[in-house]
Amino acid sequence: MSDESRSAPRPRVGRTTAGRRRLRHALTVAAIEKFSEQGYDATTVDEIASAAGVGRRTFFRYFRSKEDAIFPNHEEVLGRIEQLFATADDRQNPLEVACAGVGLVLDSYLADPDVSVKRFALTRTVPSLRDKEVASVDRYQRVLATYLRARFQAAGDPLWDLRGSVAAAAVAAAHNHVLRRWLRSGGTEDAHAHAKEAFALVIDAFADAAPPRSAGDDESVIAVLKASAPLSEVVRQISQALRRDG
């Protein structure tokens, strides 16, 4: 954190939410432009504020430091994820809910391709920005792990703690893979299609961690399988058969 840091940003009373969001975005765009043009170290908070048409006091109502200025509003996204988890249906596959959660993170990057791609270039060259990026990934992963552990524990999984950590890491890695690929493409690829594929992979990997069927189903299922079929295909078929009326 720079020596210009403050204890906490204080949004100005009276400005509308939309207005605040616009000004925050203008400061982010200004910071990214300045950092890219003249270098991160050489840029001051005053220059960023001035480029966005405000004073340094206004800057510090939105950001703690100049590092902070280029990142998405992680607090806001984390809040939305926690709300999604708090209101999710307990009968939904926990991995699907977790993937919907990181989908909100992905959307926050996709919402502004130009800013996201330029930020990506900066985090690859400025170590302190890269450290902040890594720290934010860690925070999302913790929120995912907390949700997944609770769901697995509620389902009576004896390995809930372990499975929660591992599944959260897998979901975060799937998201990071999709995001990085999209950023490397300069924000041009179809990230939603890749996300769908990536989320399907982790949901499939942890399919046996889904909640048990609620009804007292004790009928038998007879499956005739090709021994040479890929196990993934066999698992998918059986999983569908066992749950078709669940």
From 10-18, 79-87, 103-111, 235-243, span contacting its own copies (CB under 8 A): 235-243
- Contacting its own copies within 139-198 (CB under 8 A): 159, 161-163, 165-170, 172-174, 176-177, 197-198
Residues 6+ apart with CB under 8 A from 67: 1, 2, 128, 129, 132
- Contacting its own copies within 85-144 (CB under 8 A): 131, 134, 138
225 binds its own copies (CB under 8 A): yes
Burial class (CB in 10 A: 0-12, 13-18, 19+), 62: buried
Q: What minimum distance in Å lies between the beta carbon of 78 and its own copies? A: 19
Contact between 175 and 106 (Cβ < 8 Å): yes
Contact residue for its own copies among 3, 7, 86, 208 (CB under 8 A): 208
Q: What minimum distance in Å lies between the beta carbon of 16 and its own copies? A: 37
235 binds its own copies (CB under 8 A): yes
In the Cβ-directed half-sphere of 98, how many Cα atoms lie within 13 Å?
36
Burial class (CB in 10 A: 0-12, 13-18, 19+), 118: buried
Torsion angle (degrees, nearest 10) of CA 63, 64, 70, 76: -60
Which residues contribute to the site for its own copies (CB under 8 A)?
A: 131, 134, 138, 159, 161-163, 165-170, 172-174, 176-177, 197-198, 201-202, 204-210, 212-213, 216-228, 230-232, 234-235, 238-239, 242
